[in-house]
Amino acid sequence: MTFTERQIETIRGGVQERETSVGRAGVRGLYRIAIDVTGALAYRAQVANEPHSVMVVGEPTERGGTGEGASPLAHFLTGVGSCLLNQFVRIAVAEAYELRFTTALVRGEFRREVGGGFERISCRVEAEGSLPQPEAEDLVTRAEALCYVHVTLRKAVEMTTALWLDGRELAVSVAGPERR
């Protein structure tokens, strides 16, 4: 993946601003999504300030849906993985690391009974390139800290992040309510 110089400067500035800003505790973010019913257990979701982005959400036919769109749980776990992966890419661009990220594999374990919920979520981020062990561990720590989804979920669920480079595990972090 290649970035333009403008994109690199925008990303570098954004990472630096987020990591060094003092007094942001009072600054609140807001995200709004409108979800329209389009069929039997089928929905169209659109982010209010991103009119170009539309998500199709639905259930498979074996669960009474139309079979169009990914399930709500799939969207949830996609949000977990893509938010975290996005932070890995942003930091790598900002620091000019020689890494090419290829995939994020997300696994969510949950209890299926009424009142059950997610107990563990793991995200394996894969890349190609070279990065010394201390920098890899720092990259994982920074990516987790910048990911709003990860920071939110680790308060309630065990969250594992593993960074794999060239087919081998280089750094792992486990966080969760029992680990504080």
> Does 54 share its domain with 138?
no
Q: What does the alpha-carbon distance between residue 115 and residue 74 come to, in Å, rounded to a whole number? A: 19
> Does 84 share its domain with 156?
yes
> In terms of pTM, does the model score above 0.85?
yes
> Does 86 share its domain with 155?
yes
DSSP state of 112: -
> Does 177 share its domain with 92?
yes
> Does 62 share its domain with 151?
no
Query: So what's the pLDDT on residue 144?
Result: 98
What does each of the 180 residues of the chain score in pLDDT, given as a tens digit?
Answer: 789 999 999 999 999 998 988 766 666 778 899 999 999 999 999 998 888 889 999 999 999 999 999 999 999 999 999 999 999 999 999 999 999 999 999 999 999 999 999 999 999 999 999 999 999 999 999 999 999 999 999 999 999 999 999 999 999 999 999 875
* Alpha helix stretches (DSSP H) within 21-132: 72-95
Q: Which domain holds residue 40?
A: 32-70
> Does 60 share its domain with 144?
no
- Total domains present in the chain: 2
Query: So what's the pLDDT on residue 24?
Result: 63
> Does 57 share its domain with 105?
no
> Does 162 share its domain with 131?
yes
End-to-end CA distance of the chain: 37
Separation of CA 113 from chain center: 26
> Does 84 share its domain with 160?
yes
Looking at the domain assignment, is residue 8 inside a domain? no
